[in-house]
Amino acid sequence: MNTKLTLRMDERLVEKGKLEAGRRGKSVSQMVGDFFDALSPPKQPAAKKLPPLTASLVGVLKGHRMNADAYKEHLREKYL
């Protein structure tokens, strides 16, 4: 449903808006609507379905602190 909106602004801005809308092949209303739409948070992309093995590992390390030094030490202990 479209609702009427009245905006008040400097004539110069209105003319700039009309010229830009014409250049883009849009109406001023469409441009203002696009601007308002851009103010909302970005839409989340559709969740990708993970392979079963990957999905089973999601969250396994939650709450564990990991850093490069600890990992290197682990590898040294495991392979040396």
Query: pTM higher than 0.75 for the full model?
Result: no
pLDDT value for 76: 92
Kindly report the CA angle at 35 between 30 and 37, in degrees rounded to 5?
90
Radius of gyration of the chain (CA): 27
* Cα 5 → chain centroid: 27
Q: What is the model's pLDDT at position 30?
A: 93
Quote the CA–CA distance of 48 and 69 in Å, as a whole number.
32
Per-residue pLDDT tens digits of the chain, which is 80 residues long: 889 999 999 999 999 999 999 999 999 999 999 999 889 887 766 667 888 898 888 888 888 777 888 889 889 999 98
Count of residues making up the chain: 80
Which two tokens mark 34?
């696009």
Per-residue pLDDT at 71: 86
Chain center to CA of 45: 8
pLDDT attached to residue 59: 85
